[in-house]
């Protein structure tokens, strides 16, 4: 029994040691309550009582590129979002806590601009009539506190789409739209915005 207890203690110590060795970025990107957020969006949980943000991930294989989005997923929870919780015409993390991170394993084209394989922060500037979508080099930051426009890789202007139903928890999707073509979409409340891309051959 004593040996078993010692072994259990050793296992716990090893786990804690591994956690201590994680970087802040790795800690922030750990998935958390992603199933809860899915259940809220599917209506399986009628009242979203969790005041915090889930940490979720969306990913897909587009052509030969693996595309992933790691993001914080806050809930609407009866709040006015647009030009309320989220201000118009100001840079927004488009998630919560650590910056939303979009990763490509292959070079892609976004609105004709080449984006090298790697990880980027996804920021937006919401507006009543149009949104600006941004990929920025500095993905290792809290919210948009260290946002630097000079590190933008690409900016595009898009028209927001209206969703048929309310998306209670902020959600990203990576969708295949054609041969070697895809899109990263963000949805929250009744709003959807999309950044199309093409995988370079």
98 forms beta bridges with 142
SS3 at position 143? coil
Nearest CA to 62 among 112, 113, 117, 123?
Answer: 117
- Model confidence band, residue 20 (pLDDT cutoffs 50, 70, 90): low
Candidate from 10-19, 109-118, 120-129 with smallest mean pLDDT: 10-19
Q: Is the pTM of this model over 0.85?
A: no
Q: Which long-range contacts (CB under 8 A, 24 or more apart) does 47-51 make?
A: 48/75, 48/76, 48/77, 48/168, 48/169, 50/75, 51/75, 51/77
- The domains of the chain are located at 1-30, 31-199
pLDDT of residue 9: 41
- Average model confidence (pLDDT) across the chain: 87
């Amino acid at each position: 029994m004593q040996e078993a207890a010692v072994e259990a203690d050793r296992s716990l110590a090893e786990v804690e040691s591994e956690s201590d060795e994680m970087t802040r970025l790795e800690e922030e990107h750990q998935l958390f309550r992603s199933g809860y957020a899915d259940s809220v969006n599917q209506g399986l949980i009628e009242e979203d009582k969790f005041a915090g943000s889930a940490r979720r991930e969306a990913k897909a294989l587009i052509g030969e590129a693996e595309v992933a989005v790691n993001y914080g997923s806050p809930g609407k929870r009866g709040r006015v979002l647009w030009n309320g919780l989220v201000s118009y015409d100001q840079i927004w993390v488009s998630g919560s806590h650590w910056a939303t991170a979009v990763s490509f394993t292959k070079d892609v084209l976004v609105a004709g601009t080449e984006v090298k394989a790697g990880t980027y922060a996804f920021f937006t500037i919401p507006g009543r009539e149009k949104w600006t979508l941004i990929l920025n080099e500095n993905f290792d930051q809290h919210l948009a506190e260290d946002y630097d426009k000079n590190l933008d890789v690409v900016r595009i202007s898009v028209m927001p789409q209206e969703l048929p139903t309310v998306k209670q928890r902020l959600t990203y999707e990576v969708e295949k739209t054609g041969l070697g073509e895809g899109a990263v979409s963000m949805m929250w409340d009744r709003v959807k915005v999309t950044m199309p891309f093409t995988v370079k051959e």
